[in-house]
Amino acid sequence: MFIEDNISEKIMNSKNMEAAFNHLKKYPLIGNFMAYQLVTDINYSEVTNFTETEFTVVGPGSIRGIKKCFYEIGNMRKEDIIKWMYEHQEEEFKRLGIKFKKLGERKLQYIDCQGLFCEIDKYCRAKFPELKSNRVRIKKKYVKKDKIDFFYPPKWDVNLNAYKDIDRNYS
């Protein structure tokens, strides 16, 4: 990938996130979800600067989470639900009385919304096993840590001092 095909140059020269995604998914064993996760992680670095809300791929856990949240989605694609969630997050937080703490001015991005549905699926598998799914096992159990050292991609320009009121010990 890197030596013979120069994938790093292809990714760095991509016009957008979807183009970089398309380069990655050409390789064996890299499907849509893995390519999306990889391009998202690469985009957290300084190597690329793609807009995080131009493109999304819904992973298998997220698909299961969406099915558990919505009885009927009509003609909407799963990606449309992620985009709707991103576009309406502030009004929905307000409507539901949720005081959501953003990282600085950073809203939830597509990858975050996609991840929330995945976490819903995991939570439901643990708490409501009667909600049938093709997955039953949780790969990793939550282990409480005494301290979490937060680190965010520098290009997010998140002012961590704004979060000094967060209980970082989660006690």
For residue 103, what are the β-bridge partners?
A: 106
Contact by Cβ (8 Å): 42, 17: no
Same domain, 28 and 101: no
Same domain, 73 and 114: yes
Residue 3: per-residue pLDDT = 82
Does 149 reside within a domain? no
Residue 169: per-residue pLDDT = 47
Same domain, 73 and 98: yes
Residue 152: per-residue pLDDT = 86
Question: Which residue range(s) make up the domain with 31?
Answer: 1-55
Does 4 reside within a domain? yes
Residue 24: per-residue pLDDT = 97
Does 169 reside within a domain? no
Phi, psi torsion values for 70, nearest 5 degrees = -125, 125
Mean pLDDT per segment of 10 residues, for the chain of length 171 residues? 90 97 96 96 95 94 93 94 97 96 90 95 85 68 80 80 49 41
Does 109 reside within a domain? yes
Return all residues near 95 (Cβ < 8 A) that are at least 6 apart.
none
Chain CA centroid to CA 144, Å: 22
Residue 127: per-residue pLDDT = 86
How many domains would you assign to the chain? 2
Same domain, 23 and 64: no
Residue 57: per-residue pLDDT = 96
Residue 6: per-residue pLDDT = 92
